[in-house]
Amino acid sequence: MNRIEKVRETVDAILLNMTDNEERRCAYIHLYGVAQASALLAKKRKENIELAVIIGMMHDLYSYATMDSTDHAYKGAKMANEILESLKIFTNDEINMICTAIYNHSDKSIVHGALDEILKDADVMQQVLYNPLFDIKKHEQKRFDNLMKEFDIKSSI
């Protein structure tokens, strides 16, 4: 089994334990939507697609698993570290890259490393594309505008 599927099994096991069906639905849509957007962005930017997908799947897992978004980036990075170490299929460098991206993903105004930026952009992309009739959050507008330029899309959603 490849590493993406191994992580997906772990993520699914956590999500299946959620008691609130609506929140579970939201978790699947958001985590796997961000994972798919991460794959697209990693492919376009010539970055590690496998790690980008895994980062996308895990980035808000803590929030959904605990129904607590307080310090979710920090706590999510810690949770991801524990999960990835227990799987014993990643190097320490890979675990560090994954957890750093998760840790940094909430700060959309600062530019971090390549995988961090893929996650931030994928997070914004998924939220906007989930329902294009919703207003784009003010703090995400510039990042979304830059994505539209990157994909050479003239009209805004």
Print pLDDT tens along the chain (157 aa). 699 999 999 999 999 999 999 999 999 999 999 999 999 999 999 999 999 999 999 999 999 999 999 999 999 999 999 999 999 999 999 999 999 999 999 888 788 999 999 999 999 999 999 988 888 988 889 999 999 999 999 865 5
- Domain contains 155: no
CA distance 62 to 67: 8
pLDDT at 3: 97
Please report, for the domain that includes residue 36, its CATH number.
Answer: 1.10.3210.10
Name the pTM for this structure: 0.94
- Domain contains 56: yes
Neighbours of 156 (CB within 10 A): 11
Query: Max alpha carbon distance in the chain (Å)?
Result: 45
- Domain contains 28: yes
125 exposed, middle or buried (CB, 10 Å; 0-12, 13-18, 19+)?
buried
For residue range 62-95, list pLDDT tens digits in order: 999 999 999 999 999 999 999 999 999 999 999 9
Structure tokens at 118: 């893929």
Structure tokens at 129: 């594309």
Q: Tally the domains of the chain.
A: 1
- Domain contains 156: no
C-alpha torsion 97→103→109→115, nearest 10: 20
Q: Which domain holds residue 129?
A: 3-150
- Domain contains 122: yes
Chain centre to alpha carbon of residue 143: 15
- Domain contains 157: no
